[in-house]
Amino acid sequence: MTKDLLVRGLDDETHTELGKISGQTGVSLNSIVKDAVDKWISNNSKITKKHELLLYADDESLKHLLKSVTRMAQNDDVFKACCGPKSHIGMQLLAKQGWFDGTIEPYDKFLDNPNAYGKKVLEKVGKKIDKTQLMVLAFLTGDLADKKSVSDSACFCQWYHRQGVEGITHCIANAKNILSGNVNDILDLFDAHDQVFIAKKDSLYKVHVTKENVHKLFLN
């Protein structure tokens, strides 16, 4: 049984443009709206798989970021997990907020074989998940860049990305440990994530990195 749907907020320009498209294609406005709604439902019904890089400017910025993420993840359907060195301020803050610690001890094994270590972390977290949605805050990428290299971090994140882990994973790192690396390695690391953000104090900035043709330098 069909139902009527009232769409609010469409300005005159948008409504006129929809009317033109409807006239040109022979598709009714009702069909256009229904198709848009169906696509939205389809996209939001899929299992979330997000792997993002969050860089922070300093400890103060990290504290703001973690408090905000923890507040947003209070939903009962979210299983909150983290991993990283115990000495990291981020791990200490999340421990106080009740996040599950997926770190495998001894932690130094991570630096010896990141991929094998990462697999064990996924297994540990996987055994504890009792909610619909998984959110992981990982400080492994930044630590690997600091103690090894940004190149090693990029390789590790490329491996992780290929695993197609369900849920949302945020790789969190101090910006100075990443942005001081080789440009090629930095771009490889960025490319290994779905999105890249930088946290500065209580603000979050999205980084847009796209490969462009040199002709773009001469275009408006």
Name the strands in the sheet holding 78-83, side by side, starting at the edge strand that comes first in the sequence. 100-101, 78-83, 133-138, 167-174, 49-56, 195-200, 203-207
Higher-pLDDT residue of 212 and 185 is: 185
- Predicted confidence band at 108 (pLDDT cuts at 50, 70, 90)? very high
User: Which DSSP helix (H) or strand (E) runs through 78?
Assistant: strand 78-83
Cβ-based neighbour number of residue 167 at 10 Å = 20
In the numeric block, which tokens belong to residue 187? Answer: 């771009």
Higher-pLDDT residue of 145 and 6 is: 145
Mean pLDDT (whole number) for 93-119: 97
Q: What is the pLDDT of residues 153-207, one digit of tens each?
A: 999 999 999 999 999 999 999 999 999 999 999 999 999 999 999 999 999 999 9
Burial state string for 28-44 with b = 16 or more CB within 10 A and e = fewer than 16: eeeeeeeeeeeeeeeee
Average pLDDT, the chain: 89
The CATH code belonging to domain 49-207 is: 3.40.50.11570
The pLDDT value recorded for residue 98 is 94
